[in-house]
Structure formats: structure tokens, C-alpha cells
Structure 1
Amino acid sequence: MEQVRNLTPAPTSGIIASSVYLSGKRVADIAIEQAGEWAAKPGHVVWIGLLEPDRNLLLRVQAQFHLHDLAIEDAEHPHARPKIEQYGDALFIVARTAQLIDGRVTFGETHLFVGTGYIVSVRHGPSTSYAAVRQHWESCPHSLAKGEDFVLYAILDFIVDNYMPVLEQIEDEVEAIEDKVLLKPMTGSEIERLYMLRRDLLRLRNAALPLVEVCRRLTSADLPQIHAAMHPLFRDVTDHIRTVQEKIDSLREVLAFAFEASLLVGQSQETAISKKLASWAAILAVPTAFAGIYGMNFSDMPELKMEYGYPVILLVMASICSFLYWRFKKNGWL
């Protein structure tokens, strides 16, 4: 399907949009109290968008479409796992949204009520405005005319597609870490950042993966709210989720490799330092040994009385030290 361009006007709370459509074209912006009447008219679709609604607003919407109390409770108090429930003739769907804010993946929730002639979206927390979805598909009335199940597809597809910009930003950071890690060990703050990225990726995976089951249910024959013609579109959303999942798994593997590589680089540098210390210790041991021997003040040490004993001893020490230095240098220890 066509890519929806992100348009993010300044968010407000309450009712973001409340419109009625006929044959894919917006015919009126309506009050909440008129929504049920318009939804009952053949061929009409009411599309309501809410942002951080209070209980009173949710009860007004509930009264129009006879929504289940449990679904309203979930919509009022977010933190539900992505899921799909059927309450009478209405579907209730929960999806997680994600945005990268100050370097951390931050999650929001979208609750969707879908029934004959209406769809209601309720947003909580960080998410890209669905005004982009509305504006895009209003320019394609032949698609919007397919009904409320097409609007459901459009919103779910938009949510899943918006996981990718988050992953792309994380991927850029992961590549930077990967480039640095082979040059020097990571600092404590870099290791902490790596751990946070791995945890955020796991949380994003847990947010996206349950939507596979949601889309599977939406393509089953036991949901009268979803027309069979829409099944391929929801399978396409499933494919997008699988792509997101593969991307997440790939990035987590790269981060695991980066951590292991950093440990290996650190161990290699520690080994190199140990070799240098051992080499210099061996070289310095030579004059130390000579000094120890000739510092014992034995009376019967003939070489002490030799005319050239002192320079000979210095030459021998220098020769041994030079040989050891050459040998260690050749072996790459120095």
C-alpha cells in the first residue's frame, strides 16, 4: 500500500476529529452525541479520534455505540498488552506505539473500537498523530469507501510502519558503536548505553510481535466486522511486523557482538600490557642479578681484582639486556 507521510500537528487532548464519511468522502464534522445516529445510516462511516480522553468523554462515546464497560476501562487506563477482543458486535483492539525521545524508546498505546458504521481511536502517550492517516486516505476516497475495516487496516499499518524510523535511528547508533568497538574497549557509559539499547529493542519486539496474533484474528472468518476482501491487507501488515521483528533481532545480535568484541579487545590490550611489563621486568632483572651477586661482598671474587673487570661486567650486562630487548621486540612483546 501507499506510504503515509507523517504529519504531526501540535497535539491537544480530547476530541481530535469526529467526522462522518459517505462513499469515502467526508460529508460532515459531527458532535459526539450525533455519532450513533450517523453510524446507523447505511453506507456511512463515523471516524472519531480521541487523545488522552477523560472518563466523561469516553462515557459519551460509549453511550453512542453501546461499548462494553471492560473495553472502556482499558481505554481509560492504558498499560494493556497488544490484543484483540470481541464484545458483542464490536471489536476492541490494543496496539503499542513507539517513538525515540532523548535516545530512549518511549511507548504509547492506541485503543480501537470497531463496529458497524464506526471506528473510534483512543491514543495515550507518545505516538505520531493519525491526522496523517486521515489526510492521506481522504485523498483516496475509493479506498476509504471500503468501510471502517479499511480504516482499521490503515491505522494498524501506520502504527507498524512507524516502528521503522525508530529502528533506523537505533541502527545508526549501533553502526557507530560497531565502528568504535574494534578500535578500543568501550567505556562504562558506552557499555551502559549498549545495554539500554538492547533492552529497548526487546521492549519494542514485545510491543510489535503480539500484533501478529491480532492480524491473524482479523483475517479469520469468525469476525463479521471484517470483510473477506480486507484479509490480504491485514496479512500485509503481518509481513511488515515480521520485517520489524527481523530488524530488531538483527540489531540485538549486532549489539551482542559489539559487547563481546569489546571484551576481546580489552582482553587483548591487557595481554599486550602484561607482555610489555614482563619483558621489561626480564630485562631489568639482568642488572639486578649482577648487582645482587657483586653486592654480597665476598672476599674471594677474582674478577673484582681484574684490571678490566668493571667494563667487562658492564659489557656483559649490556649484551644480555640488548639480546633480550631484541628478542622481545621480534616476538612483538615490545
Structure 2
Amino acid sequence: MQTTRLYRDGHRVGGEHSLTNLVEHRASEDCTVWVDLTLDEEDALDELASLLELHQLAVEDARSHLERPRLARFDSHLLLTLSSSHCDEQGDVTISRLTAFILPGILITVHEAGFPIESVAKRLDENEELSAYRVPWLVWALLDVVVDSHTDSVERLDEVIEALSDGLFSERPDTSEVQRRAFTLRRSVSKLRHATLPLKEVITLLIHQGEEKVAPELHPYFADVGDHAALAADWSETLAEHISTAIETSIALQGNKMNEIMKKVTGWAAIIAVPTAITGFFGMNVDFPGHNEVEGLIASVSLVIGSSVVLYLVFKRRDWL
């Protein structure tokens, strides 16, 4: 759904505003315009592209689903691509893109359905006293919401990964399930890394290359967003290492468990082999002392039981069983 906002002299101007009227207002030094579109509002985007002479490649990028976070310069405007993230309770991360056309006096955003655009509007309402700083203020609100979404996602992922790591050492871990979840979480972390790693550079470029110079009063706000973006990026790198460690630990534990099983099987095989050898000896078709006599039966049974008990005690003492 199309959203339009007009700010004049630091206050929001209510009412409905046509795209043509908004484009005319953006030329005024005391006006700031924000137009937000969804990807399916192609006619409105084409109209704005015509009114503002937006570059064709920039418009194509806004309709693409494959762009990574970046800042691109065109003759008449800057093109900012951002991605927000959402992590559910299972650790599955969903990425939603937004593309922003940054021009003097006007910001145009085109977002996917999952992007938290309502949070951006709320952030603007909460900080309307900064509206005198025009488009950089709008861009800051966008960045702040995006970085907050990444921070929430890495926190949730951290909790899920910690729970997964704790489950590795449970009494009977489901190895296949642990590995499946670990690989799923690794994909989620990879998505977060691609969304967060370029943000620090993007924020730096915005401060120094914006169409409208960022006022010194806004520098602390951009610096704060940049710090949080760097934290989210570093945290995502750490989570990637934790996932790799969890997968390696799971494989190592599985190997150790297999070794324990093989050791026990070998121990029991050794215990069984000795009675087999004894009964084989007493089962020979030759005469020997005690052959076909009760004494021979007692001797063979005693040897079987005695050797089995001795081997069992020796193996048990050495933790082979």
C-alpha cells in the first residue's frame, strides 16, 4: 500500500497528497517528502521515475530480489539498498529488501512485503523533532530500523545456537537432528552476514556522499547506527564460528561414540571367543583325561565360567565394557 508523507518546517502536514504535488513540494527548502511503495505498485514507481528522471538501471534494481546492501551513485540521485531480517523461534532467518532513491528534498522507498515499514513510520513519529534535517533524517530512521532488526535476529540466533550446543552433551542426543538444525542455522547465519557486513561501509558513504549533506547534529545518530551495525556484523561472524564448532563437535562426539561401541563389541567378542575355544577343545573326537566323564564336564564348565568372569572383570576395570 502506498504511503506518502510531507513535512514542512519540522512538522508533518496531514491530508492526502498526489505524487505530482509531492514532487513539486520537494523543491521547497522547508519541505521534506517521503513516498513509500510496495513492489507491486509498478505504475506509481514508473510515474515517479518519469517525474524525477530516475535512472533506468536504478529502477530495475529496485524491482530485483537479488541486490545486496549497497549505495550506488547516479547522476541525479543515490540508490540505497537495505535488507531487514527476522528470526523465528527455530532460528530460521527471513530477509526482506528495501530500495531507497535519495534525492534533495525527497526519499522514495520500494520494499518487499516483509520489510518492517511500519516501524520506520513509528520511528519517524517518535523523532519528529529531527525532521528539520530533512532527507538524512528519513534515511537515518530507515537504517535504525534495519540495524535493530539485525540486532534482534543475532540475539535470537545466539539463544538458539546455545540451546543446540547444550543439547550436544545430553544423555542421548539425536545426532541426525542436531546436524540438520546446525546446517539450517548455518544458512541463517550466512543470510545475516550478507545483510550486515556491508552496512558499516554504506553508513560511512552516506555521511560523506549524500545528496544532502548530513548535518553535524545528526552525526551522533548515524555513528550510533554504525556502531550497532558493526556489532551485528561481528556478532554474526562469531555465530558462524559457533555453528562450525557445533558441527565439528557433533561429528567428533559421534566418532567417539562409535569408538566406544566398537570397544565394547570387541570386549564382548573376546569374552565369547575364550569359551568357544574351551568348548572346542573339549569337543574334540579324541580321548583325553575326563573324556565322557562327569569330571570333564565339570572342568570344561568351570573353565568357561572362570575365564569369562576374569575377562569381564579385567575389561570392566579398564573401562572397555
**Please, what TM-score do these two structures have when normalized by structure 2?**
0.90
Q: Deviations over 1:201-241 (max 9, x none)?
A: 11220122122221121132x54423241344333222112
Q: Deviations over 1:132-182 (max 9, x none)?
A: 332333243321221111110111121111112222332222122111111
Question: Are 2:262 and 1:261 aligned?
Answer: no
Letter in structure 1 aligned against 2:222:
F
- How far is 1:307 from its partner? 6.2
Q: Report 1:96-245 matches (<5 A).
A: 96-100=83-87, 104-128=92-116, 130-183=117-170, 184-220=172-208, 222-229=209-216, 230-245=218-233
- How far is 1:305 from its partner? 6.9
Partner of 1:90: 77
Please say if residues 182 and 261 of structure 1, whose CA atoms lie closer than 8 Å, have aligned partners that are also in contact. Answer: no
- Tell me the distance in 2 between the aligned counterparts of 1:89 and 1:233: 26
- Tell me the distance in 2 between the aligned counterparts of 1:52 and 1:323: 78
Specify whether residues 280 and 135 from structure 1 end up closer, same or farther in structure 2 by C-alpha distance, changes over 3 A only.
closer
Letter in structure 2 aligned against 1:86:
R
Specify whether residues 24 and 134 from structure 1 end up closer, same or farther in structure 2 by C-alpha distance, changes over 3 A only.
farther
Identity across matched positions, percent = 28
Letter in structure 2 aligned against 1:156:
L
- Tell me the distance in 1 between the aligned counterparts of 2:294 and 2:25: 120
**Please, what TM-score do these two structures have when normalized by structure 1?**
0.87
Query: Which stretch has the larger CA shift, 245-254 or 148-157?
Result: 245-254
Partner of 1:21: 7
SS in 1 for 2:99: strand
Please say if residues 95 and 109 of structure 1, whose CA atoms lie closer than 8 Å, have aligned partners that are also in contact. Answer: yes
- Tell me the distance in 1 between the aligned counterparts of 2:256 and 2:65: 49
SS in 2 for 1:93: strand
Question: Are 2:289 and 1:290 aligned?
Answer: no
Partner of 2:300: 313
Q: Deviations over 1:61-114 (max 9, x none)?
A: 223333222212222334222221222342211111222368532222111112
- CA-based RMSD of the aligned residues comes to 2.1
- How far is 1:297 from its partner? 1.1
Return 5+ residue gaps in structure 2 as ranges.
none
Partner of 1:323: 310
**Partner residue of 1:40 out of 10, 13, 27:** 27
SS in 1 for 2:14: strand
Query: Which stretch has the larger CA shift, 119-128 or 304-313?
Result: 304-313
Total equivalences in the alignment: 317
Please say if residues 32 and 61 of structure 1, whose CA atoms lie closer than 8 Å, have aligned partners that are also in contact. Answer: yes
Return 5+ residue gaps in structure 1 as ranges.
1-12
Runs of 4+ in 1 over 4 A off after TM superposition: none
Letter in structure 2 aligned against 1:37:
E
- Tell me the distance in 1 between the aligned counterparts of 2:274 and 2:195: 66
- Tell me the distance in 1 between the aligned counterparts of 2:20 and 2:281: 105
